[in-house]
Amino acid sequence: MFEFKKSLATVLAVASLGGLLGATGAEAQTLKVVMHSDVKILDPIWTTAYIQRNHGYMVWDTLFAVDEKFDVKPQMVDKYSVSADNLVWTFTLRDGLEWHDGKPVTAEDCVASIKRWAARDSMGQKMMGSVANLEVVDAKTFKMNMKEPYGLVLQSLGKPSSNVPFMMPKKSAETDPMQQIKVEDVIGSGPFIFKADEWKPGEKIVYVKNTKYKPRSEPANGLSGGKVVKVDRVEWLAIPDVQTQVAAIQNGEIDMIEAPGHDLLPLLAKDKNIKLVNFNPTGNQYVFRFNSTAKPFDNAKVRHAVFVAFAQEDFLKATIGDPQWYKVCKAPFVCGTPFATDAGMADVLNGNAAKAKQLLTEAGYDGTPIVLMQSTDLQVLTNLAPVAKAQMERAGFKVDMVSMDWQTLVARRVKKEPPNAGGWHAFLTSWVAADILNPVMAGFYNASCEKAMFGWPCDETIEKYRDQFAKETDPAKQMQIVESLQKYWVDHPTHINVGQWYAPIARRTNIDGNLTAPVPVFWNVTKK
């Protein structure tokens, strides 16, 4: 037996040595990361999924970008100006911008990119509604001629989250917006270069440092400033099992996990070689979405009753648990962001079942069971629906909670059939704060009936406020509009914000430099 053990140890030792010999010296500067998902699609304009957005930030650059405080700063743009009547915006690109194939970035490329992005993005569509045309002045300059003043030009071009207006070469940007760009067209001007020959879906995606990239001179700040890459290579490895991810980082096989499950955070926190870092202090927001076309949620008073019945902390305790990773925050536009306000929120989200019951009686609720969809396979969402069910039942609702996997929910939520015939009344999801910074950006405020997102709220007043907000160029007046909208929206909710939560990254202690930003980015990150 001893002999056998000795032989096994020898074989394993040789095997380990072999592994070490097989490694290259360059590995010291390779950052190995497990992201929240594998990259299956390479076109960040074609889909709004967050993993494609993160991939986009590696490869492509943006005209503008937000800093830590969500102030919009120039990125690829060197200088810009707007005419006194707010009808002509002129943008001039920085010197030395180059695509990864060595060709210069031109104004023509940017115009084509803006058009493709705007065809897919709701904020882009809204902006283009006020744009007369985009005009190329010279190789580095283009103009945006407006039909009317529009207050969100910079916020749109500097939109930090899905869909991000990434600038692509004209050839890629002329791809039909409803089709993906080709693998060979994944050419950006960003700080990393995508290695098409090493991309193995389900295994890894590889980026190498773009040595020709010219960072801005300002220090990196949020998504803005100098994008200085401090590693040679970044590999995003696909390890689907969360327990294996944790074992791999403990064993030093990977350097970082973007989104370790909250139940595994105590285990990671105990390991002296691993540090948990909350790089995104505005975090995420849980949301309860109504189907405003289905009875009884077609009645605003019934929806308001749910708002009154809910208490945020119960949702957060049930899903996140540890208070250091959540925040009770009534502000729908997320605490810590420019349009955060509690205006109109005093009487809601207090878990007032008695008041909710009274509202339901006044609204004439007839006991129709509420079909509440529960996603069971995404840990951060699973426990939300049972809490919603309990709080609604306490207020007098009848709730039929239907459990399903997330992809089934995603398919069902676009169905407009009656809830008892394959449709739905409500479900819970989560937004990254950077997606919901104002009423135009936040898709669930879109109340344009058929054109709105699933749930299809139809409310002229909300739409009027959204239009006013978009066209207002004075930030102070924009804030007034937000407050007015919010006060109205509380009584006519399209959805309910049920708490803010944070997902720290786990990184080995030899890794540093993750920027405070709404999106995980890999410039400025160092590996010792």
Instruction: Name the site residues for other proteins (rule: CB under 8 A).
Output: 9, 12-19, 21-22, 38, 40-42, 46-50, 52, 120, 122, 162-163, 178-180, 182-183, 200-203, 237-241, 243-244, 247-248, 250-251, 253, 404-405, 407-408, 410-414, 429, 431, 435, 443, 450-454, 456
CB of 31 to other proteins, least distance (A): 15
Q: Which is nearer to other proteins, 50 or 326 (CB)?
A: 50
H/E segment holding residue 34:
strand 30-34
Does residue 124 contact residue 156 with C-beta atoms inside 8 Å?
yes
Q: Which is nearer to other proteins, 148 or 203 (CB)?
A: 203
Q: Helix (H, G, I), strand (E, B), or coil: what is residue 63?
A: coil
CB of 496 to other proteins, least distance (A): 17
Q: Is the dihedral angle over the CA atoms 258, 263, 269, 273 positive or is it negative?
A: negative
Does residue 403 contact residue 374 with C-beta atoms inside 8 Å?
yes
Q: Which is nearer to other proteins, 121 or 314 (CB)?
A: 121
Does residue 522 contact residue 231 with C-beta atoms inside 8 Å?
yes
CB of 238 to other proteins, least distance (A): 7
Q: Per the structure block, which two tokens stand in for 25? A: 């010296």
Report strand pairing: 30-34 vs 233-237: parallel
The whole-angstrom separation of Cα 365 and Cα 242 is 43
Does residue 492 contact residue 461 with C-beta atoms inside 8 Å?
yes
Q: Helix (H, G, I), strand (E, B), or coil: what is residue 284?
A: strand
Q: Is the dihedral angle over the CA atoms 358, 318, 436, 482 positive or is it negative?
A: positive
Which residues contact residue 382 at a Cβ distance below 8 angstroms, ignoring those fewer than 6 apart? 319, 374, 375, 376
Q: Which is nearer to other proteins, 14 or 28 (CB)?
A: 14
Q: Which is nearer to other proteins, 116 or 143 (CB)?
A: 116
Q: Per the structure block, which two tokens stand in for 378? A: 């995404």
Q: Which is nearer to other proteins, 246 or 521 (CB)?
A: 246
CB of 408 to other proteins, least distance (A): 4
Go through the chain and tell me how many residues it has.
Answer: 528
CB of 104 to other proteins, least distance (A): 27
CB of 42 to other proteins, least distance (A): 7
Q: Which is nearer to other proteins, 340 or 410 (CB)?
A: 410
The whole-angstrom separation of Cα 182 and Cα 186 is 7
Q: Which is nearer to other proteins, 225 or 457 (CB)?
A: 457
Residue 518 is given by DSSP the state S
Does residue 276 contact residue 494 with C-beta atoms inside 8 Å?
no
- List alpha helices for 2-132, DSSP H: 2-22, 50-59, 107-120, 122-128
Q: Which is nearer to other proteins, 118 or 392 (CB)?
A: 118
